[in-house]
Amino acid sequence: MRLLVTGGAGFIGSHYVRTLLTERDDVEVTVYDKLTYAGNLANLAPVADSPRYRFVQGDICDATLLDEVLPGHDAVVNFAAESHVDRSISGAADFVVTNVLGAQTVFDAALRNGTPRVVHVSTDEVYGSIPVGGFKETDVLEPNSPYSAAKAGADLIARAYHVTHGLNISTTRCSNNYGPYQFPEKVIPLFVTNLVDGKNVPLYGDGLNVRDWLHVDDHCRGIQLVLEKGAPGEVYNIGGGVELTNKELTQRLLDACGATWDSVDYVEDRKGHDRRYAIDDTKLRGLGYAPRTTFDDGLARTVRWYRDNEAWWRPLKEKAALGGS
């Protein structure tokens, strides 16, 4: 199988690529990535010497380049996206261009080149906030940030390309990911790296916003399952089954890093901050999915990875001026 993985130098995409090339010998992968601030070839260093790996630097909005690269691939897995909510609040344009127009350009290229299969990777944030229970794939989309609104736009375009053009595309919607190689603007790597440096960490509002946590390895297994067994035109939720308030998560990270609440700064809440994300992944479990990584083990391994890989994250933080007081 020959796969084109867009956004394959990012956190989740690179994990997907590393896993495939390490665990399977029947897969060839072309990584297509623009290498924005969150795209990093160092994420792919462990597999860079594989004869089954190829890298192309490119923008998913570039239809001409996609037409050059796509022929001969059996499937496209579209990870490419702008994904940080705070950045989308301060400036939404890049999110709309990449997450909506870029996704549409990928779908159109796949259709034009006769690509047999497409999987579009999305997020549970497209559903908005839910006080109790979990969102199902058929629930109404009510995104509350420019980031999630742009992702919802792409989800709807994916559906339209299946209904209108017959494109063999499935969409996945995951809960909050964590694991190694995650860009340190995200909460877990930001907190860990700040605490390693003896800096404080920022906690939004009252800290009671709830998220479901999913290890990136489980997420990638879910994506592969959808690629191989998912139905055309269908959406599949991928959950971790571990709900924590941000305050509870902070306590776990403080404990893991040997720090106390003196290292926490309560900051003004994010605009439009969703109170609780939760999804029902019964549909995917019907295909055989179940998370394998317990949160305690996954978090411990993640914290240890950041402690052991300062050479990877410190240049990223210094370049982006990420930190705390």
pLDDT tens column, 143-194: 999 999 999 999 999 999 999 999 999 999 999 999 999 999 999 999 999 9
Q: Per-residue pLDDT tens for 260-314?
A: 999 999 999 989 999 999 999 999 999 999 999 999 999 999 999 999 999 999 9
Is residue 228 annotated as a catalytic residue, yes or no? Answer: no
pLDDT at 13 over 50: yes
Query: Is 23 a residue of the active site?
Result: no
pLDDT in the model for residue 51: 98
Side-chain-facing half-sphere of 322: CA atoms under 13 Å: 24
Three-state secondary structure call for residue 294 = coil
Kindly name the residue from 28, 82, 124, 218 that is annotated as catalytic: 124
Q: How many CB atoms lie within 10 A of CB 120?
A: 27
Render pLDDT for 221-269 as a digit per residue (tens, 0 to 9).
Answer: 999 999 999 999 999 999 999 999 999 999 999 999 999 999 999 999 9
Residues of the chain with CATH 3.40.50.720: 2-177+216-238
Question: Is 60 exceeded by the pLDDT of residue 325?
Answer: no
Beta-bridge mates of residue 88: none
Of the candidates 147, 161, 181, 277, the residue annotated as catalytic is 147
- Provide the CATH number for the domain formed by 2-177+216-238 in this structure: 3.40.50.720
Direct distance between the N- and C-terminal alpha carbons of the chain, in angstroms, rounded to an integer: 48
In the DSSP assignment, the letter for residue 269 is P
Q: What's the pTM?
A: 0.96
> In this predicted structure, what is the pLDDT of residue 322?
66
Q: Inform me whether the pLDDT recorded for 83 exceeds 90.
A: no
Q: Which two tokens stand for residue 7?
A: 């956004």
Q: Please give the pLDDT value at position 52.
A: 98
Q: Which CATH number fits domain 185-211+242-276+294-320: 1.10.3720.10, 3.40.50.720, 3.90.25.10, 3.30.1950.10?
A: 3.90.25.10
Instruction: Exactly one of 28, 33, 125, 217 is catalytic; name it.
Output: 125
Q: Which residues 6+ apart lie within 8 Å of 131 measured at CB?
A: 275, 276
**Weakest mean pLDDT among 61-75, 86-100, 105-119:** 86-100
The answer to whether 125 is a known catalytic residue is yes
pLDDT reported for residue 93: 93
Q: Where in the chain is the domain with CATH 3.90.25.10?
A: 185-211+242-276+294-320
Q: What is the pLDDT of residues 20-76, one digit of tens each?
A: 999 999 999 999 999 999 999 999 999 999 999 999 999 999 999 999 999 999 999
The pLDDT value given to residue 324: 47
Helix (H, G, I), strand (E, B) or coil at 21: helix
**Average pLDDT value for residue range 204-211:** 96
